């Protein structure tokens, strides 16, 4: 006789969008303007239309004054005006998952851990935008006009993200090959890119950190998903788990180009996505 309580658990396919900003990256886009129920409703509406069941906010840490204890860079000083505690309280008052995009700053691991410990995140997205004190993706602090050899920039970028993975501070590695963002607009090394990916893939394999598939790259000059096919295939061989995000900064970019991302994931042989709650990961079928 079958007991009703022993029915097999059916898992429901899911689409996630965890790397989402509730406002554009302009310094004058204030919390008062954008951290409102009305604004969150606009994001939820687009998520509903595009079949995204798991929606979370992950604001840039450098928009909050607490970030200056981690890194006192000129760029961060310009943006760090809000309160991280108020952001967390606001997101917890909405149906959104609570995340944070926390830049990795080498040598500041203890300070990052201290900042993260004070809050009850569902997940923390780790990113590298700066190599040293110059940005790979921002004109204002452009590393590419410094005359540094592109091979050295690519090597240092992937080594830094590998260090982020090994720090154990993060649940998800954001836009893992962001260094390609400008496409042909900046010098690209001649070597096979897999040479540069290698140390990061090793760190992903060793730590089990989740790798983000981001459609943001499709909206940038490079016009490709993050990560590239070659990177993703190395991740699959390393047994990595994937999270799916848009890196939206506007409601209309929630779930942006997910048809292309899902097709790519299936092409890589990936049939599950990582879902996070209070920094615990579980895998669900890809929607
Ligand atoms: Zn980012
Ligand atoms: Zn972002």
The protein residues having their C-beta less than 5 angstroms from ligand 2 (an ion) are 101, 247
Confidence of residue 124 (pLDDT cuts 50, 70, 90): very high
- Is pLDDT above 50 for 2? no
Which of these, 248, 250, 251, lies nearest to 218 by C-alpha position?
248
CB of 221 within 8 A of CB of 183? yes
Q: Choose between 61 and 1: higher pLDDT.
A: 61
- Is pLDDT above 50 for 23? yes
Q: How far is the CA of 266 from the centre of ligand 2 (A)?
A: 24
Q: How far is the CA of 219 from the centre of ligand 1 (A)?
A: 13
Q: How far is the CA of 125 from the centre of ligand 2 (A)?
A: 9
Tell me how far apart the alpha carbons of residues 4 and 50 are, in angstroms, rounded to a whole number. Answer: 34
Q: How far is the CA of 7 from the centre of ligand 2 (A)?
A: 41
Rounded percentage of the chain residues whose pLDDT exceeds 90: 93
User: What SS3 class is residue 282?
Assistant: strand
Residues 19-41, mean pLDDT to the nearest whole number? 96
pLDDT at position 77, please?
A: 96
Tell me how far apart the alpha carbons of residues 270 and 272 are, in angstroms, rounded to a whole number. Answer: 6
CB of 173 within 8 A of CB of 165? yes
Q: How far is the CA of 110 from the centre of ligand 2 (A)?
A: 23
Q: How far is the CA of 235 from the centre of ligand 2 (A)?
A: 21
Q: How far is the CA of 170 from the centre of ligand 1 (A)?
A: 14
CA-angle at 110, arms to 107 and 116, nearest 5°: 120
Q: Which helix (H) or strand (E) holds 232?
A: helix 229-237
Tell me how far apart the alpha carbons of residues 284 and 248 are, in angstroms, rounded to a whole number. Answer: 22
Q: How far is the CA of 128 from the centre of ligand 2 (A)?
A: 10
Q: How far is the CA of 218 from the centre of ligand 1 (A)?
A: 14
Rounded percentage of the chain residues whose pLDDT exceeds 70: 97
Span 244-281, pLDDT tens digits: 999 999 999 999 999 999 999 999 999 999 999 999 99
pLDDT at position 8, please?
A: 55
How crowded is residue 74: how many other Cβ atoms within 10 Å of its Cβ? Answer: 9
CB of 204 within 8 A of CB of 173? yes
Average pLDDT score, the chain: 95
* Unique residue bearing structure tokens 């080498």: 106
Span 140-163, pLDDT tens digits: 999 998 788 999 999 999 999 999
- Is pLDDT above 50 for 73? yes
- Is pLDDT above 60 for 113? yes
Q: How far is the CA of 225 from the centre of ligand 1 (A)?
A: 14
CA contacts within 13 A on the Cβ side of 169: 27
Residues 61-86, mean pLDDT to the nearest whole number? 97
pLDDT at position 13, please?
A: 87
Which of these, 189, 67, 81, 178, lies nearest to 130 by C-alpha position?
178
């Amino acid at each position: 006789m079958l007991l009703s309580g022993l029915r097999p658990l059916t898992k429901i396919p899911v689409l996630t969008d965890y790397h989402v900003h509730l406002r554009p990256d302009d310094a004058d886009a204030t919390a008062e303007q954008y951290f409102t129920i009305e604004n969150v409703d606009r994001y939820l509406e687009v998520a509903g239309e595009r079949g995204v069941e798991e929606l979370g906010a992950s604001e840039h840490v450098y928009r909050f004054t607490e970030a200056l204890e981690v890194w006192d860079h000129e760029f961060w000083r310009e943006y760090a005006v809000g309160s991280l505690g108020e952001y967390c309280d606001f997101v917890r008052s909405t149906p959104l998952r609570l995340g944070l995009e926390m830049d990795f700053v080498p040598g500041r691991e203890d300070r990052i851990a201290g900042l993260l410990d004070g809050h009850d995140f569902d997940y923390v997205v780790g990113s590298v935008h700066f190599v040293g004190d110059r940005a790979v993706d921002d004109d204002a602090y452009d590393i590419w006009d410094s005359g540094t050899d592109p091979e050295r920039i690519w090597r240092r970028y992937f080594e830094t993200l590998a260090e982020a993975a090994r720090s154990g501070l993060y649940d998800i590695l954001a836009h893992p090959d962001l260094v390609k963002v400008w496409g042909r607009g900046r010098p690209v090394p001649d070597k096979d890119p897999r040479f540069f990916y290698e140390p990061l893939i090793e760190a992903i394999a060793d730590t089990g950190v989740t790798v983000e598939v981001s459609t943001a790259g499709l909206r940038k000059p490079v016009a490709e998903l993050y990560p590239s096919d070659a990177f993703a295939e190395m991740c699959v061989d390393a047994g990595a788990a994937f999270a799916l995000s848009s890196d939206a900064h506007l409601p209309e970019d929630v779930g942006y180009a997910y048809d292309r991302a899902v097709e790519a994931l299936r092409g890589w042989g990936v049939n599950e996505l990582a879902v996070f709650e209070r920094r615990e990961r579980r895998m669900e079928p890809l929607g």
